[in-house]
Amino acid sequence: MAERQPADSPAPPDREAALEAEIARLRALLARAGLDADQATGAIEPPGVAALDREVHVLNKELEATHAALNESEARLRNALAIETVGVMFWGPDFTLTDVNAAFLKMTGFSREEALGLSWDQLTPEDFHDVSRASIAKLHERGEITPYEKQTYRKDGSRWWGLFAARKIDTEAVEFVLDITARREMEAALRESEQRLRLIVENAHDYAIFVTDADDRITDWQTGAAAVFGWSAAEAIGQPGRILYVPEDRAQDVPEKELQTARIQGIAPNVRWHQRRDGTRVFIEGSVTALRGADGSVSGFLKIGQDVTDRRAAEERLRKSEAELRRLNETLEAEVEVRTTELRQAIGALHAEALERLQAEEALRQAQKMEAIGQLTGGVAHDFNNMLQAISGSLELMQKRVSQDRASEIGRFIGAARQTLERAAALTHRLLAFARRQALQAEPVNPDALVEGLADLLRRTMGPAIKVDLRLGDGSWRVQCDPNQLESGILNLAINARDAMPEGGRLTVSTRHASLSARDLAHEDSAQPGDFVEVAVTDTGSGMDAVTRSHAFEPFFTTKPIGQGTGLGLSQVYGFARQSNGTVRIDSAVGSGTTVRLYLPRHAQAAEDLATPAPAPAAMVAGSGRGVAILLVEDEAAVRALAGEHLRDLGYHVLEAADGPSALRLLRDRRYQQVDLLVTDVGLPNGLNGRQLAEAARDARPGLPVLLITGYAGSALEDELSPGITVITKPFALDALARRVREMINEPR
C-alpha cells in the first residue's frame, strides 16, 4: 500500500524540493563569483562567499532533518493504518478506491486486488445512494464531513452497518469506518421489544397502568387506566395519585403509606377499593413499584392494577349464598335431596335423549349410505345379470348348434354375445367415469372443432322433430382432456335432452370462454379458479324439479321407465369432468327445459385446427409381425393365453410373464436381447404394478414402447403418461389389440 502523510502534517517532499532549489541558487551565485562550491572552504573567499557557504550548510542540515521527520511521519502513519478495528479507505478523484488497510479488507471480505478500483456506488446499496451523494458534496464543499451511518456491501453481497468519516487531501480523500452492525442490530431488537411492550401495555384494557413522579403526580396514563377509572389522559396527567382512593382511605393516609412501603421495599401491594371519575367504586388487585434513577433515588412510581370488581362481587354473592345455604341446611335437607334427585333424573333423561338422537342420526346416515349402495349395486346387478344372461344364452345355443353339426348357424349368437359384451364394457367405463377411476387419454382438444364434427351425428340422433342449433365460440381456446370421453359426454347429454322432448323441440349446443372465481368454486374439490371453456347442452323439454336435480348425478338414478335408461349418462359426464379438473352445473326448472354446463380448464397451448384423423389401419394378416419380439405380462392366465396366441398367429415372437418381477428377469436375461414392445396389464400381483414395471423396464431399455392394459387401474394411471406409453382398456377385441401393437411398433422413436 502506498504510504500517505496525514492531512494535517507538513508536506516534506515540497519542503525538500524548496531546499534543493535554494541550494542550486546558491551554487549558481558561487559559480558567478568564480568559485566551485565544493572547493569554497579552502579558497580565498570573496566578499559574501563565506556567508553563502554557511547558508548552504544550514540548508543541508534542514534537508536531513526533513528526511528524518518524513521517515518518522511515515512510520506513524503505518502504525495508525495497522489498527484492526478501524477501516481506512483512500479515494481517488473519481471516488474509486486507490488504497485500503487490512481492517477494511477484514470487514468486507475482499482481497486487496479485488477492492482496489471499486467505486463508492458499487459498495453502497441503492437505498443509501442519496446519503452518500450528499456526503461527497459536503466533502467537496467543506473539505471534511461529520460522521454518518449507512450500510455497505460485503464481498458475498450481504450488508453491514458502518460509521463513516472522511477528509479531503488535495485531489484525494481519506475515509475512516467503524463496523457498528452489532450495535444497530441491538438497537433494532430493542426497538422491537419496546414496540411489543408498548402494544401490550396499550391494549391491556383490563389493567390500569400508569406512572407518577416522586411526588405522586400522574405523568403517564395508559388506555387501560382510562378504561378502568374513567379519566382521560388529558384529565388525569398532573393530578395526584391519591384521587383514585376512596375517601375513607385518603383520610387514613393509605396512599402515602403505600408509597412509603414501596420506597423502602421496592414494591407495595395495592389491593383495595378505589374510586372512579363518576364516584362509583372499583376493586383493584395490583401493586406500586418504586422507579429509581441512576443515583438510586426514587424518581417515580409504576402502578399496575386489575379490575376484579365483578369477580369480587361474584365471590361475595357466593359467600352470601353459602351462608344462606348453611343457615337453611338443617330445615331444607330433605327438599334439597328431592330437588337433587329430580335434577339427576332430568340430566339422565337428557343424556338418554341425546344418545337416542345420536343413534337415530347414525342410523339415518347408515340407511342413506345403504340406500345409495343398494341403488348402485342393484343397478349394476340388474344390468350385468341381463348381460350375463344374454352371453350365457348365446354360448349355450352355440354349444348346442355345434353338437348338432349346425355350426353355420352360430354367427348370430356370436354377434349377440359380442354386442352384449360391448354393452357390459360401456357400463363398466361409465361406472369408472363416475368414480373418476377410468384411464383417460388426455390431449389438447379444440372444443369448437369437436362439437362441429359431431353436428351430423347429433342431427341423426335427434331425429326430424328436434332442431339442432350450434352456437360455437371463436375456437381460440383449447382444453386438455380425452376427446373420446368429451364426445361421449356430449352425446349422453344430447340423448337425455331428446328423451325430455318426446313431442319435439330445440337442442342447442354452445361453447364460450368463462372465468370461474374461488367463490364460484367454493363447493368444488376438483376445479381450481381460472379460465375455462364452457360446453353447454340446452333443451326445451320438460325440465327437472329440485329433488330430481339433487339426484341427477347419482349412478343408476333415472326418471325413465324400466328398460329405457341405465341412469349412468349424467354420472359419466360428472365423473369425466371432475377427473379432467373441471366441473358440471345443471340449470333446470319444471316446464322450462334444462341446460347442462360442462366446464373444462383452459389449456395453455394456443388453439389450432384439430389434425385430420388418421385413416383406420388395414386388417391384420398372418405373418405381418414376423421378426418383432413382444413381452406380454398378464396375471390372468386365460387372457394371457388368448392374447399371446393371437399375436403369435400374426408372426410375432411373444415372451410371457405372469407378474412384474418375472418380466424384469426376462428383460435382464441375456438370451432375450431383442424386445421391441412391452405389453402389460396395470393391475399385477407381487408388489409391482404395470406402471412401475414400465418405468423399471425403460430404465433398463431406454425408449422401449409400452402398451398398458387396464380394466381398472385405480390410482396407477392418475399421473400423465410419458411419451411412448399408451393405454388400451379391457375388454378389447383381439384385432384391436393387434392394431394398437402394430401402430406402436411402426411409430418412429
The CA distance from 105 to 155, in Å, is 10
Domains held by the chain: number? 5
My answer on whether 464 and 484 are in the same domain is yes
My answer on whether 597 and 637 are in the same domain is no
What is the phi-psi region of residue 482: left when phi exceeds 0, alpha when psi lies from -120 to 50, beta otherwise? beta
Q: Residue 361 domain-assigned?
A: no
Compare 324 and 436 and report the one with higher pLDDT. 324
Q: Output the nine-digit C-alpha cell for 511.
A: 361453447
Render pLDDT for 326-368 as a digit per residue (tens, 0 to 9).
Answer: 777 767 667 767 778 888 888 888 888 878 877 776 666 566 5
Per-residue pLDDT averaged across 610-619, rounded? Answer: 43
My answer on whether 213 and 303 are in the same domain is yes
User: What's the CATH code of the domain at 506?
Assistant: 3.30.565.10
Compare 743 and 460 and report the one with higher pLDDT. 743
The CA distance from 224 to 47, in Å, is 102
Compare 551 and 207 and report the one with higher pLDDT. 207
Per-residue pLDDT averaged across 277-282, rounded? Answer: 93
**DSSP class of residue 616?**
P
Handedness of CA 421, 423, 429, 434 (dihedral sign): negative
My answer on whether 76 and 219 are in the same domain is no
Q: Grid coordinates 431406454 are at which residue? A: 702
Q: Residue 349 domain-assigned?
A: no
141-170 burial, b for 16+ CB within 10 Å, e for fewer?
eeeebeebebbbbeeeeeebbbbbbbbbbe
User: What's the CATH code of the domain at 161?
Assistant: 3.30.450.20
Element (H, E) at 666: helix 660-668
Q: Residue 300 domain-assigned?
A: yes
The CA distance from 654 to 131, in Å, is 81
Does the pTM surpass 0.85? The reply is no
Q: Residue 618 domain-assigned?
A: no
My answer on whether 440 and 568 are in the same domain is yes
My answer on whether 465 and 597 are in the same domain is yes
My answer on whether 459 and 595 are in the same domain is yes
Contact 383, 427 (CB under 8 A): yes
Cis amide leading into 731 (omega within 30): yes
Boundaries of domain holding 110:
87-185
Helix axis angle, 637-649 to 734-746, nearest 10°: 60
The mean pLDDT of the chain is: 79
pLDDT at 423: 63
Q: How far is CA 441 from CA 445, 576, 619, 661, in A?
A: 11, 12, 24, 27
Q: Which amino acid is it at 605?
A: Q
In the chain, the percentage of residues whose pLDDT exceeds 70 is: 71
- 709-714's contacts with Cβ under 8 Å and 24+ in sequence apart are 709/634, 709/679, 709/680, 709/681, 709/682, 710/439, 710/681, 710/682, 710/683, 711/428, 711/683, 712/432, 712/437, 712/683, 713/437, 713/439, 713/682, 713/683, 714/437, 714/683
pLDDT at 582: 85
Per-residue pLDDT averaged across 494-509, rounded? Answer: 87
My answer on whether 149 and 269 are in the same domain is no
Q: Residue 328 domain-assigned?
A: no
In the chain, the percentage of residues whose pLDDT exceeds 90 is: 28
| 685: CB partners within 8 A, 6+ apart | 635, 659
Last residue of a domain, one of 81, 99, 130: 81
Helix axis angle, 12-32 to 49-81, nearest 10°: 160
Render pLDDT for 289-330 as a digit per residue (tens, 0 to 9).
Answer: 999 988 889 999 999 998 888 888 888 888 888 877 777 776
Q: How far is CA 519 from CA 143, 482, 528, 530, 579, in A?
A: 66, 27, 11, 11, 21
Q: Residue 303 domain-assigned?
A: yes
Last residue of a domain, one of 252, 279, 307: 307
My answer on whether 106 and 165 are in the same domain is yes
Collapsed DSSP state (helix, strand, coil) of residue 387? helix
Cα–Cα nearest to 709, from 724, 733, 730: 730
My answer on whether 483 and 584 are in the same domain is yes
Q: Residue 444 domain-assigned?
A: yes
Q: How far is CA 8 from CA 24, 98, 170, 416, in A?
A: 29, 20, 12, 114
Render pLDDT for 525-544 as a digit per residue (tens, 0 to 9).
Answer: 778 888 898 999 999 888 88
Q: Output the nine-digit C-alpha cell for 118.
A: 471499486
My answer on whether 704 and 571 are in the same domain is no
Q: How far is CA 458 from CA 160, 422, 455, in A?
A: 74, 22, 5
Q: Grid coordinates 331425429 are at which residue? A: 463
The mean-pLDDT minimum among 186-190, 210-214, 705-709 falls in 186-190
My answer on whether 653 and 719 are in the same domain is yes
Q: Residue 393 domain-assigned?
A: no
